[in-house]
Amino acid sequence: MSVHTAPKAELDFSKPLTTVDMVQAKGKRSLTMVTAYDYSMAQLADQAGLDMLLVGDSLGMVMLGRKDTVSVTLDEMIHHCRAVVQGTKRALLVGDMPFMTYETSVSDALKNAARLCGEGGVRAVKLEGGHDVAPQVRALVKAGIPVCGHLGLTPQRAAVLGGFKVQCKSAQAAQILVQDALELQDAGCFAIVLEALPAPVAEIVTARLDIPTLGIGAGPHCDGQVLICHDMFGLYSNFQPKFSKQYFNAGAAIREGFKTFVSEVAEKSFPAPEHCFTIKDEELQELKALLGDKA
Ligand code: KIV
């Protein structure tokens, strides 16, 4: 089968996808992941046949209106994960470990990932970084928690990367990234997100790994692609990354819908008779009589 083969029309919702399915897909078919932060969006994405849903800490920006992801707390992540899990039957649900919930120590990583899985209901966690977090990845996988890595532009470290910028433009930086990816694989990651990398660098990393890469701004040669749903549908107007594609502008359509509601309420064309509940005429007359209403 070609890696470009479209998914089968029939989706089996009785068999949730697993991390093993993701690893086995490498070289056979392209994987898909999108972010979801609430029940309704998760349900739509799951019904559409996405392989993985990510409760990303990008929710700090697109759902909570903050300027970056570093202020997102574990409790906030758990809150959103609990909503997303309700709408997810088939896709593999992955939750982001927030900033400083895993970097500090292996035991912090274990304790916090256990909460994300236990209270949040996700079936895998994602964390950012390479060599420095490999011991955490190893310990989590050993404890039974599947881990997705995240290399390249790691938004939690944007402050030291000089902002949200393309990474690995030099051979040396790209070489370190390849080593980091191999180390994450060796530590037990089932997949690695590659964010904002030159496409040829992502292609080299992808070719050297046995586990799938999931690109976001990393070109077409990754084993799968991940997008932020708010970027896909024009729901976040502050910033549209060059690498994301807007499939349609639901944001503009929603704004128009709100404007129409405002004018229909003003001109009293909403609610119309079909939106109203009725009462039997005799009950209405009796009510008026009870109230002494002569009309
Ligand atoms: O938080 C997030 O949405 C992510 C994606 C950019 C992969 O990590």
Render 153-188 in DSSP notation, one character per residue.
Answer: S-GGGHHHHTSS-----SHHHHHHHHHHHHHHHHHT
Class of domain 19-248: alpha beta
- Which of 33, 35, 94 has most ligand 1 atoms within 8 Å of CB, for mutation? 35
| Interval 47-56: pLDDT, tens | 999 999 999 9
Positive or negative CA dihedral for 58, 49, 7, 211? positive
Please report the DSSP string for 212-247 in residue order: PEEEESS-TTSSEEEE-HHHHTT---S---TT---S
pLDDT band per the 50, 70, 90 thresholds, residue 293: confident
* DSSP-assigned beta bridge partners for residue 96: 126
What's the whole-number mean pLDDT along residues 19-38? Answer: 98
Q: Is the full-model pTM beyond 0.85? A: yes
- Which of 34, 72, 167, 228 has most ligand 1 atoms within 8 Å of CB, for mutation? 228
Query: Chain centroid to CA 31: how far?
Result: 14
Q: Whose CA is nearest to atom 1 of ligand 1?
A: 56
Q: CA-CA distance, 60 to 63, in Å (whole number)? A: 6
What's the whole-number mean pLDDT along residues 188-217? Answer: 98
Single out the residue of 131, 55, 139, 136 nearest to residue 98, CA to CA: 55
What's the whole-number mean pLDDT along residues 193-218? Answer: 98
Ligand 1 centroid to 287 CA: how many Å?
A: 59
Q: CA-CA distance, 59 to 94, in Å (whole number)? A: 14
* 10, 76, 183, 195: the active-site residue: 195
Listed by start position, the domains of the chain span: 19-248, 253-290
What are the Cα distances from residue 287, in Å, to 52, 129, 273, 280? 57, 70, 21, 11
* Predicted confidence (pLDDT) at residue 3 exceeds the cutoff of 60: no
pLDDT band per the 50, 70, 90 thresholds, residue 9: low
Pairing of strands 52-55, 224-227: unpaired
Please tell me if the CB atom of residue 58 comes closer than 6 angstroms to any atom of ligand 1: yes
Non-local CB neighbours of 231 within 8 Å, separated by 6+ positions: 240, 241, 244, 245, 246
Q: What is the pLDDT of residue 295?
A: 61
| Interval 121-150: pLDDT, tens | 999 999 999 999 999 999 999 999 999 999
Please tell me if the CB atom of residue 193 comes closer than 6 angstroms to any atom of ligand 1: yes
Q: Whose CA is nearest to atom 4 of ligand 1?
A: 56
Non-local CB neighbours of 264 within 8 Å, separated by 6+ positions: 270
* Predicted confidence (pLDDT) at residue 5 exceeds the cutoff of 70: no
Residue 290 buriedness (CB in 10 A; 0-12 / 13-18 / 19+): exposed
Placement of tokens 């982001």 in the chain: 96
- Which of 166, 216, 240, 242 has most ligand 1 atoms within 8 Å of CB, for mutation? 216
Please tell me if the CB atom of residue 96 comes closer than 6 angstroms to any atom of ligand 1: yes
Ligand 1 centroid to 228 CA: how many Å?
A: 7
- Known catalytic membership, residue 195: yes
Decide if 170 contacts 200 (C-beta within 8 A): no
* Predicted confidence (pLDDT) at residue 1 exceeds the cutoff of 50: no
Residue 78 buriedness (CB in 10 A; 0-12 / 13-18 / 19+): buried
Q: Whose CA is nearest to atom 2 of ligand 1?
A: 56
Largest CA distance in the chain: 89
Q: What is the pLDDT of residue 81?
A: 98
Within 10 angstroms of residue 148's Cβ, the number of other Cβ atoms is 28
Q: CA-CA distance, 188 to 184, in Å (whole number)? A: 6
What three-state secondary structure class fits 76?
helix
Q: Whose CA is nearest to atom 5 of ligand 1?
A: 56
* Predicted confidence (pLDDT) at residue 177 exceeds the cutoff of 50: yes
